[in-house]
Chain A
Amino acid sequence: MSRSTLKILARGVAAGAVATFALAALPAQAANVFRFAFQGDLKSLDPYSLKESFTEGMQQAAYESLVTLDKNLKFAPGLAESWETPEPTRWRFHLRKNVKFHDGTPFTADDVLFSAQRVRASGSNFTTNVPSDAEFVKVDDYTVDMVLKKPNPIALAQFPTWLIMSKAWSEKNGAAQPTPANATSPSYATLHENGTGPFVIAEHQPGVKTVFKKFDGYWGKAESNLDEAVLTTIANPATRVAALLSGEVDWIDPVPLQDQQRVNASGTAIVMAGPELRTIFLGMDQDRDELKDSSVKGKNPFKDIKVREAFYLAIDEETIAKRVMRGQAVPSALMIAPALYDRASEIKRPATDLKKAKELMAQAGYPDGFTLTMDCPNDRYVNDEAICQAVVSMLARINVKVNLNAQPKAKYFAKVLAPNYDTSFYLLGWTPSSLDSHNILFEIVGCRKPGDKSGRGSWNLAGYCDPKIDEIADKVEGETDKTKRDALIKEGFETLNADWGYIPLHQQALAWGVSKKVHLTQRADNLLLLYWVSKDPQ
Chain B
Amino acid sequence: MSGRDIDVGDAPPVPLQVASPGRLARWRDSDLLASFLGSKTAMAALLATVLMVGLAVAAPLISPQNPYDPAQLDLINSNLPPIWQADGQAPFYLGTDDQGRDVLSAVLYGLRLSLIVGVLGVITSGVLGIALGLVAGYAGGALDTLIMRVADVQLTFPAILIALVVDGVARASFGGALDVGPLIGLIVISIGLSFWVQYARTVRSSVMVEKGKDYVQAARLIGLTPPVILVRHVLPNVTGPVFVIATINLALAIITEATLSFLGTGLPETMPSLGTLIRTGNRFLFSGEWWIVAFPGLALAGLVIAINLLGDWLRDALNPKLQ
Q: What residues make up the interface of A, taking CB atoms closer than 8 Å to B?
A: 236-238, 241-242, 245, 256, 258-259, 261-262, 293, 316, 319-320, 322-324, 373, 383, 385-386, 389-390, 392-393, 395-397, 402-406, 415
Contacts and interface: CB of A to CB of B under 8 A. Distances in A.
A513 to B, nearest CB: 11
B78 A237 contact: no
Nearest to B284: A258
18 contacts: A241-B286, A245-B286, A258-B79, A258-B284, A258-B286, A258-B287, A259-B286, A293-B176, A324-B75, A324-B98, A385-B269, A386-B98, A392-B270, A393-B72, A393-B75, A396-B70, A404-B269, A415-B176
Given A256-B287, A320-B75, A392-B70, 7 more contacts: A258-B284, A261-B287, A386-B99, A389-B270, A393-B99, A395-B70, A404-B177
B71 A390 contact: no
A256 B283 contact: yes
Residue among B176, B268, B288 with most chain A CB within 10 A? B176
Interface string B46-76: 0000000000000000000000011111111
B266 to A, nearest CB: 13
A259 B75 contact: no
Interface string B269-310: 110000000000011111111000000000000000000000
Contacts of B270: 389, 392, 404
A389 B99 contact: yes
A466 B268 CA distance: 37
Given A262-B286, A324-B98, A393 B70 contact: yes
Given A389-B99, A396-B70, A236 B75 contact: no
Given A323-B76, A396-B71, A402-B70, A258 B283 contact: yes
Contacts of B79: 258, 323
A110 to B, nearest CB: 45
B179 interface: yes
Contacts of B75: 316, 319-320, 322-324, 390, 393
Given A389-B99, A389-B270, A323 B78 contact: yes
Contacts of A396: 69-71
Given A404-B270, A406-B268, A259 B287 contact: yes
> Which 10 pairs of residues, A with B, have the shortest CB-CB distance?
A405-B177, A393-B70, A258-B287, A396-B71, A396-B70, A323-B75, A393-B73, A319-B75, A323-B78, A238-B285
Contacts of B74: 393
Main secondary structure of the interface of A (DSSP, over half): helix
Interface residues of B, number: 27
Nearest to A399: B71
Contacts of B69: 396
The B interface is mostly helix, strand or loop, or mixed, namely loop
B269 A319 contact: no
Contacts of A236: 282-283
A236 B279 CA distance: 10
Contacts of B268: 404, 406
A238 B281 CA distance: 10
A389 B269 contact: yes
A383 B283 CA distance: 11
Nearest to B288: A262
B96 to A, nearest CB: 10
A323 B76 CA distance: 7
Nearest to B76: A319
Nearest to A316: B75
Contacts of A259: 286-287
Contacts of A324: 75, 78, 98-99
Interface string B161-176: 0000000000000001
Nearest to A245: B286
A258 B73 CA distance: 20
Contacts of A241: 286
B269 A238 contact: no
Counting chain A CB atoms within 10 Å of each CB, the highest count among B70, B76, B100, B268 belongs to B70
B283 A237 contact: yes
B70 A258 contact: no
Contact of B179 (A258, A383, A403, A415): A403
Interface in B141-185: 176-177, 179
A74 B285 CA distance: 41
A323 B73 CA distance: 13
Contact of B283 (A238, A261, A389): A238
Contacts of B98: 258, 323-324, 383, 386
Contacts of B284: 238, 258
Contacts of A323: 75-76, 78-79, 98, 100
Contacts of A293: 176
Given A258-B289, A373-B177, A406-B268, A390 B99 contact: yes
Interface string B76-91: 1011000000000000
A402 B98 CA distance: 19
Contacts of A245: 286
A373 B176 contact: yes
B315 to A, nearest CB: 26
A262 B270 CA distance: 28
Contact of A262 (B72, B176, B287): B287
Nearest to A389: B99
A435 to B, nearest CB: 32
A82 to B, nearest CB: 49
A191 to B, nearest CB: 25
Interface in B94-137: 98-100
Contacts of A237: 283
A426 to B, nearest CB: 12
Nearest to B78: A323
Contact of A393 (B71, B179, B287): B71
Nearest to A261: B287
Contacts of A316: 75
A392 B69 CA distance: 10
Given A238-B285, A238-B286, A258-B289, A403 B177 contact: yes
Contacts of A238: 282-286
Nearest to A407: B177
A258 B287 CA distance: 5
B286 A242 contact: yes
Nearest to A262: B286
A394 B162 CA distance: 37
Contacts of B78: 323-324
Contacts of A386: 98-99
Contacts of A415: 176
Nearest to A403: B177
Contacts of A397: 71
A12 B99 CA distance: 49
